[in-house]
Structure 1
Amino acid sequence: MKQWKTTAVFLLLACTWAALFWVTGSRTPWQMFSPKDKDAGIVVSLGEMAGRNYDRMGFEGGEILYVPSDGGWLVGTANGELRHISAEGDEKWSHSIGTGLIRSLKLSADGKTVYVGEKSPDGFLYALNVKTGDLLWKFKGYDAIGGEPDIRADPQAIHISTDQNGNIYAAFYRFTVKGDGQRGYVSQVISFTADGKERWRYPAEKPMDAWVNWGEASPDGSRFAFGTANYDKSKIENLEYNRNIYVLDGNTGTLIQGISIPLADHFDSVTMRNAPSYSLDGQYLAAMTSDGRGFLFDRDGRLLWERHLAEAKEINGAWFFAAGRDARFLSDGVLFDTINTFSRDNWQMPSPVIHPSSNSLFRFGLQGDFLWKYTAPGEIEAVDVGKGVAALAVGRNVRNHDYLAHGAEVVRLSDGSLLTRYHTSGPLQNIAVSSDGTLMAGIEVPAVTPEGSLLGAYRLHIWKIEGR
C-alpha cells in the first residue's frame, strides 16, 4: 500500500508537469516553482558597484552595443571590463581592458572590430576582434593630451566614430585646473586607419582648450563634426576654441567651418553633449543644445532650421529649463531628447518643479515639421533605434523621486506611442536595441535613496520586445 501511494504521488506530479507543458508550451514546467519576472527579462550580473546618491548628477553605468553578426551584445562596464554576451545571456568572452572605466564603444562598419575608449591614467583607445576578444592594437591617449594624476584629471577616449571605409575618429578629453583656479579643458580629435595608423589630428600642433564630448563622421568619411560643452561662462570669449560646432574635412582633418550658435534667451553660454550627428546619407548635421534647442544644418554646417523644444521658465526670479542632450537621425527625420529639469544658475540644486518638456523625445521631419512628442516618467538616459521603434533607458526623476519610473520603454516611431515597458529596481543607464527591433538590452545601476534605501544592482537585462 505504501509503495502504491508513493507511485501515485509521482504519477500525479508527472501528470501535472505534462498539463503545464500542454497549457504553456514550456519545456521546463517545473519553473513554476521559481517564476521568472517578465520585467527582469534575462539578467546578467556585471560585478560589484557601490550604490550612488539618487540626487547626484551623472551615474557611470557603462556602454552597450548590439552585435548584428551574432545577435549578441558588447557590454563595457564601469569596472574596466568588456564582455561579449549572447542574446540568451551566456558569456562568449570577457576582456579586462585596464585600470579605469569604459567610456565609449563603437563597431567597425563590417562588424568585425570593436573600438573601446577608457578613462584611466593612460586613457587608451583599444581595437579588439569582436569574435574572439583578441587585442588588435591600442593607442595611449596620455601621449596626446597628457594627464594630471594628482588631481585625478585622467585622459579618456570619450567618444568614437567610424566610417564605411574603416577609418576611426576618436575624441580624447580631460579636465585641468588653470592658474587662476578655474576649471579648464584639454581635448584633441585623432583619426586612425583600420590597422591603427594615425591619419590626422585636430588641432595638429597642440590640444584644444575646449571640452569635446562628442564627434561624428559622415558615413562616407568626407566630413567629421564635433561639438563643445564649455561651462566656464565668464571667460568663454577668452578660449581659443570657443565655437560650438567644428566641421572638418574627414580625409585631412582641416577645418571647413566653425559654427557659433547665438545665445538662447536667459542663458549665458551654449553647450552641447551628445551631438552633433550626421544623417544616414551624410547630407545633414543635427545638434541639440543644453538650453533645449534643436538644429538642422547641411553637411558643412550651414543652418537650415532651428526649433525651441524647452524654453526656460521663470519662477520667483529663477529660471528653470529641461536640458537638451541627444540628436540622432532616422532615415526620414531626426530625434531630439531632453532630460531632467535644472536651474539655469545652479545645475546641482534640485529643481522645485518639473518642466513640461523635460524627459521627452521629439520627432521632426527633415523640413522641420513637428511630428510627435513622447514624455517618459524619468530621465531619458539613452536612446537607441531599431526597425520601427526607439528604445529608451529611463533613469531617475530627481524632482519627484518616482522609483517606479526606472526601466526600459519602447516607443513606436510612427506616432510616438508607447509599445511596451519593463521596470527595473535601479535606474536604467544605457540601452541598445537589435536592428530588427525585436530585442533590447539595458544596464541597471544601484542607487541610494534620500531615505537610505538601496535600489537595484549593477546588472544587464535582456528583453524580447513584446508586440513585435
Structure 2
Amino acid sequence: MKRIQFFTFLCLFVILPISIATADMSVTWVRTGVVIETEHKEGISDKISVATVFDGTAHELAEVPTIQQLDTHRVLLQFTWQPNQDYQFRLNDHLTTATAPLKPVSYLIRTVELDALLSLMENLRRPAKPTAIALGHGKAPYTPKLAVATDSGHLAVLQTLSGKTLWKTRISEGYVRRMAFNRDNSVLYIGEQAADGFIYCYNFAASEPTLRWKYRTADDIETSTPSNPGSVYAWVSYPGPACMRTLANGDLLVASVHSWKENDTPRQMSQLYRFDSETGEVIWKWPRDRAISKIIRWFDVSADGKTLGLVTDSGHNLQGSPTDENGAGNGKLVVLNTADGTEKWHAAIEPLREYFPQVTFWRGVSISPDGKFINVTTDDGRAFIFDVNGPEPIWQENLTTPLEVSGIPIVATSGTIGATDAAALFVTGDTYIPYHLRKGAQRPSAAHPNGMTLFAYSWTGEKIWQWQLENMPQGLRIDEKDRYAVLSVSKRTQDPNESLHGVSVFDLTADGSGLSKYLYTYRTEGELPYDTLAMSADGAFIVVVEVPIAMPDETVRGKNRVHVLY
C-alpha cells in the first residue's frame, strides 16, 4: 500500500507542472491565427511554436507562423488553421494541445479611452465628439498607425496594437470629416468641414509630423455663414470633403461639397480634385472649368486606380414640387479616367416619378476591385449594376422602393453598398415614410420586407445570399483580398430593446448561405456613429469608435473609446 501511495505521489509530482502549464496558457482562435495568453511571470518570449497533431504525434506546420507581440503576456501566431484539427502549442517549456473550432471568435486587443486624449470635455456645455478615423496600411507583423479626430479639430495618431499616442494636436476648430493615410503611412490627409474647407497634408516620415501643404477648397466652392453659427449642426452649412481616397503613388482624390442657403435660396457646389502628394498641386479638377452646381455624394475607385465612378444629384430642393421636364431632377452616374480626370461616360437616372420628383443618393456607388463593374443605389430604393464600359444598366432591381401599406408608401434606406470581384453588396436599413408622402402618418405601420438586410448579388444580377441585420447599418468595409466584410450596426434610441450595437464579420469566401459566411458579432455598450469603422488592408485588424448613449432611466451606456479587434 505504501508503495502504491508513493507511486501516486510521484506521478502527481511529475504531471502537476504540465497541468499548471496547460492552465497557465490559453488559446483563442481568431480569423488570422491564434492568440496565446499566459500569466506566467516570465511572460511570452520568442520561444513559442505550433504543430499539428495526428494520431497523437506532432508534425511541423507547412507554413511558418508569423509572430506578433501584443504585450508581455499576449502574442498572435498568424497561420491558417483548419476546423476540428488538433494543434500543439509550446511556450518555453510548457505544452498544451487544443482543437480548432468550426469558426473563429472575436478578440479585443485593447480599448483606447478618448475623453482625455481628444479633450472631448474641454467645453462642458458642448462636449466634442469623435467624427473620423483612419487606419494605416500594412500587413502583420507590421502595425499600422491609427488616427482619430473630432468635430472640434482635435487629432490623435496612435500605435494600433499598443494604443501608444504617437502624436496629437489641434489642427483647427473645425469639424474633421475625412482622413486617409497614403500607402506607406508616411502621409496623413485630413479634410475639415469648416468655413475654409481646408485639406491638410501632414508628413509623418520625419521624427516629428509636419504640415507639408494645405489647400482651401472654399476658393472653389465658396464659403458661407450658417443662419445659427452657435448650433451643433452649423457645420452642415460649411464646405467640406464628402469622400477621400488615396492612390498607390500617394496622390489624393477628394470630393469637396458645399450645400447651404443664400437669402433662403438653397445652393450647392461641388468639386472633385486629384492632388499631388508631394507638392499639393492640383493635378486635375472635375469639372475642369468650375465647380458643379450639384452635390457629389460619393465616389469609388478601382483597385488599380485607373477608373473612378461618382454620383451627383441636385439635393432635396425639388422634393414635393411638380415634376420638371428638363432633367433637373435626374441623378447622374459619371465614370472618369483617374489619370487625367476626363469623362469616359455618364448615365442619367430618372426619378421614380410616381413617388419622387427627383433622384438623390447617399453613398450609392461602388466599383468592383478589378474595375469591371459598378453598383449603384438611389434613395428611392432602386439598385443598379453597370458594366464599366457603358452607360446602360445591365441589371436593375426595386430593392426597397415604396410599398403602400394602408395607403401610405413605406421605403427602406439603401445607401450603404460595397463591391468585390465576385459580388455587389447592398445593405438596407430602417423603414420610413418619405416626408412629402406622409399623409398625416408619422411612423410606418409595418417594416419594409427588404429592410435591415445585407444582400449579395452576382454581377449578372443573381441573388447569391443575404443576412438579416439586428439594427441600422452604420458602415461597411471589405479588405483588399475580398476575404472579409465588416458591418457595424447601431441606432441612437432610448428604447433598450433597440439598443443593439456591434460589428459583424463575414467570410466572403465561405461556401453556402449567409449563415455559412457569418462568423461573429462583437458587441459594444454604446452607440457606433456612422462611418467610424475601419479594417486593415489584409483584414487582420478591425477598429470601431463607440460613444455613450443615455437611457430612459438617465443611466449612460458606453464610453467615448476606440475598440481594436482581431
Normalising to structure 2: TM-score of the pair? Answer: 0.68
Spell out the pairing of 1:28-427 with structure 2 (5 A cutoff): 42-47=110-115, 61-68=131-138, 70-72=142-144, 73-85=146-158, 86-130=160-204, 133-151=209-227, 152=234, 153-179=237-263, 181-195=264-278, 196-229=280-313, 230-232=315-317, 233=319, 234=321, 237=324, 242-264=330-352, 266-300=355-389, 301-345=391-435, 350-386=443-479, 388-396=483-491, 402-413=497-508, 414=510, 415-417=513-515, 418-427=518-527
In our comparison, the structure showing a higher alpha carbon Rg is 2
Change (3 A) 1:89 1:165: closer
8 Å CA contact retained: 1:334, 1:364: yes
**In structure 1, how many angstroms separate the alpha carbons of the residues matched to 2:223 and 2:302?**
30
Change (3 A) 1:175 1:276: same
Change (3 A) 1:320 1:40: farther
Change (3 A) 1:355 1:436: same
Change (3 A) 1:77 1:437: same
| Alpha-carbon distance, 1:400 to partner | 6.5
**Aligned AA (1:330):** T
8 Å CA contact retained: 2:331, 2:358: no
8 Å CA contact retained: 2:243, 2:255: yes
| Alpha-carbon distance, 1:292 to partner | 2.3
**In structure 2, how many angstroms separate the alpha carbons of the residues matched to 1:49 and 1:312?**
41
8 Å CA contact retained: 2:156, 2:168: yes
**In structure 1, how many angstroms separate the alpha carbons of the residues matched to 2:493 and 2:431?**
9
8 Å CA contact retained: 1:63, 1:77: no
8 Å CA contact retained: 1:165, 1:221: no
Root mean square deviation of aligned Cα: 3.3
Matched, 1:460 2:562: yes
**Aligned AA (1:44):** V
8 Å CA contact retained: 2:405, 2:445: no
Question: What's the counterpart of residue 7 of structure 1?
Answer: none
| Alpha-carbon distance, 1:134 to partner | 3.0
| Alpha-carbon distance, 1:424 to partner | 1.1
Q: CA-to-partner distance for each residue in 1:39-58, whole Å, 9 max, x for gaps?
A: 875211223658xxxxxxxx
Question: What's the counterpart of residue 124 of structure 2?
Answer: none
Question: What's the counterpart of residue 71 of structure 2?
Answer: none
Aligned pair partner of 1:435 in 530, 533, 537: 537
**Aligned AA (2:523):** H
Give the SS at the match of 1:324: coil
| Alpha-carbon distance, 1:113 to partner | 2.5
| Alpha-carbon distance, 1:416 to partner | 2.5
8 Å CA contact retained: 1:394, 1:408: yes
**In structure 1, how many angstroms separate the alpha carbons of the residues matched to 2:332 and 2:363?**
13
**In structure 2, how many angstroms separate the alpha carbons of the residues matched to 1:44 and 1:212?**
34
8 Å CA contact retained: 1:40, 1:424: no
**In structure 1, how many angstroms separate the alpha carbons of the residues matched to 2:188 and 2:507?**
29
Q: CA-to-partner distance for each residue in 1:290-337, whole Å, 9 max, x for gaps?
A: 222222212244322122322322222221111111232213222111
Normalising to structure 1: TM-score of the pair? Answer: 0.82
| Alpha-carbon distance, 1:276 to partner | 1.8
**In structure 2, how many angstroms separate the alpha carbons of the residues matched to 1:49 and 1:355?**
38
Deviates more, 1:427-436 or 1:399-408: 399-408
**In structure 2, how many angstroms separate the alpha carbons of the residues matched to 1:332 and 1:355?**
27
Deviates more, 1:217-226 or 1:286-295: 217-226
| Alpha-carbon distance, 1:345 to partner | 2.6
**In structure 2, how many angstroms separate the alpha carbons of the residues matched to 1:437 and 1:222?**
23
| Alpha-carbon distance, 1:109 to partner | 4.1
**In structure 1, how many angstroms separate the alpha carbons of the residues matched to 2:165 and 2:450?**
40
| Alpha-carbon distance, 1:235 to partner | 7.5
Question: What's the counterpart of residue 78 of structure 2?
Answer: none
Give the SS at the match of 1:357: coil
| Alpha-carbon distance, 1:118 to partner | 1.2
| Alpha-carbon distance, 1:98 to partner | 1.9
Change (3 A) 1:243 1:404: closer
| Alpha-carbon distance, 1:185 to partner | 1.6
Matched, 1:27 2:110: no
| Alpha-carbon distance, 1:219 to partner | 4.0
8 Å CA contact retained: 1:63, 1:75: yes
**In structure 2, how many angstroms separate the alpha carbons of the residues matched to 1:371 and 1:408?**
22
Deviates more, 1:73-82 or 1:340-349: 340-349
RCO (CA 8 Å, sep 6+): is it higher in 1 or 2? Answer: 1
8 Å CA contact retained: 1:340, 1:398: no
| Alpha-carbon distance, 1:372 to partner | 0.8
Deviates more, 1:251-260 or 1:284-293: 251-260
Question: What's the counterpart of residue 3 of structure 1?
Answer: none
**In structure 2, how many angstroms separate the alpha carbons of the residues matched to 1:39 and 1:405?**
19
Change (3 A) 1:175 1:96: same
Consecutive unaligned residues of structure 2, counting only runs of 5 or more, are 1-16, 27-36, 42-105, 122-128, 228-233
Change (3 A) 1:453 1:421: same
8 Å CA contact retained: 2:486, 2:503: yes
- What percentage of residue pairs aligned between the two structures are identical? 24
**Aligned AA (1:173):** V
Give the SS at the match of 1:143: helix
| Alpha-carbon distance, 1:275 to partner | 3.2
**In structure 1, how many angstroms separate the alpha carbons of the residues matched to 2:335 and 2:527?**
35
**In structure 2, how many angstroms separate the alpha carbons of the residues matched to 1:398 and 1:357?**
22
Question: What's the counterpart of residue 88 of structure 2?
Answer: none
Give the SS at the match of 2:220: helix
| Alpha-carbon distance, 1:206 to partner | 2.8
